[in-house]
Structure 1
Amino acid sequence: MASRLNTMSTASAPSVGQGAKNTSGPANATTNGNVVKRLQSELMTLMTQPTAGISAFPSGSDMTHWNATLQGPTETPYASKTFKLTLSYPNNYPYAPPEVLFKTPIYHPNVDFSGRICLDILKPGGSGKEEGAWSAVMNTQTVLLSIQSLLGEPNNASPLNGEAALLWDSDKAEFKRKVDARHLEPAEMEEAA
């Protein structure tokens, strides 16, 4: 929830990789058409070759906004839990990553209380200081499987939730209690301010 404060200051928080926002207009019509074709192909693959524990579909008639569902991995504090996420694809997808947000409340070292995720593949690749690992060969399935994997293997060297990172390493029982409590909160998180 927006009212909750993260234990880590935003000044020291790592850059959260989020894809570029969609823009509209005639100049983007061809680019957006290519994005839609790519996403239609990815949707077909997800439907014809489903992967256990993940699903994703366009949220309506706009192919650049999707809803996804992710099952928590077994033998983790997230086992038997279901999480909803949103994916928003930029006009230059697949050359830039989608913006992905948890909509189901989650307590995790690499997810803030607004649902933003710190994961290297959600940061655009390039040669800058904050270079991410995104590549145009990645797709929606890659993103969801990577997030599912992150649930069981957080990157505590780059936390968005410092308290969760400390508890993951020092007190598994308390960490699990906080995961369960956060998961019981209202199903949809407020939009980030």
Structure 2
Amino acid sequence: MNMANQAPAPATATKTSVPAQSSSSNTNVTKRLQTELMNLMMSPTPGISAFPNDADLLNWTATIEGPTETPYAGLTFKLAFSFPAEYPLTAPQVTFKTPIFHPNIDFSGRICLDILKEKWSAIYNVQSVLLSLQSLLGEPNNASPLNGQAAELWDKDPAEYKRLVLARHRDLAEEDGAGMDGM
């Protein structure tokens, strides 16, 4: 009787251990992102924000304000964060949704920033990524440009650089054209 009761137990334990591991991984990502969201809400940092899209905790929309005393001062940029199932061990995919003219950002919004690639570490979070991107706006890495024209103009012609920044920037809230009436 004991043997009959004991035999099914290992089979049941084996069946439930595999789903528990993948479920545990998803739970860890969810817990981490919930903690990050709570930290952003409870201790907001001026000039940056981020929130999940609807009920999808793995896809967020973020905003950063252009730093003062840079060509981006007074401008706001929307970004998209897509978190992999391996987050925070793997970096999120981050792209600019607002059109931007910058040496380290291409016209599709892809970003060349080491902490989003080979220098990623699980100690980084949404807030630190946003602060790094905000800093990158004022201090581009011209040694590794995605936009060669922007890299060249940054150093050689600041006035033309700023003109192109303003020409490229579009407030995504102006999609209906309301902000373009006076042009």
Q: Smaller-chain TM-score range?
A: 0.7 to 0.9
Q: What is the SS of the residue equivalent to 2:57?
A: coil
Kindly provide the amino acid, as one letter, of the partner of residue 158 in structure 1: S
Alpha-carbon distance change, 30 to 177 in structure 1, aligned in 2, over 3 angstroms: same
Aligned-partner residue type, residue 56 of structure 2: D
CA-to-aligned-CA distance 1:43-89 (integer Å, 9 cap, x gap): 00000000000000001111010000110000000000000000000
- The residue identity in structure 2 corresponding to 1:145 is L
Rounded Cα–Cα distance in structure 1 between residues aligned with 2:20 and 2:108: 33
Contact persistence 2:98–2:170 (CA under 8 A)? no
Matched, 1:103 2:113: no
Pairs within 5 Å for 1:9-88: 28-88=22-82
How far apart are the structure 1 equivalents of 2:125 and 2:56? 18
Summarize deviations over 1:19-43 as a string: whole Å, max 9, x none: xxxxxx9974321221010000000
Q: Residue in 1 aligned with 2:154?
A: 168
Residue identity over aligned pairs, in percent, reads: 65
Letter in 1 for 2:133: I
Give the 3 Å change call, closer, same or farther, for CA 65–185 of structure 1 in structure 2: closer
**Corresponding residue of 1:142:** 128
| Residue 179 (structure 2) aligns with | none
- In structure 2, list runs of 5 or more residues that go unmatched: 1-18, 175-183
TM-score normalized with structure 2 length: 0.81
Higher relative contact order (CA closer than 8 Å, sequence separation 6+): 1
> Following the alignment from structure 1 to structure 2, what is the Cα–Cα distance between the partners of residues 49 and 75?
25
How many residues are paired up? Answer: 157
Higher helix share: 2
Secondary structure class of the residue paired with 1:64: strand
TM-score by length of 1: 0.77
Measured on the aligned residues, the alpha-carbon RMSD in Å equals: 1.9
| Ranges in structure 1 where 5+ consecutive residues have no aligned partner | 1-24, 124-131, 189-193
Q: Give the partner amino acid of 1:147.
A: L
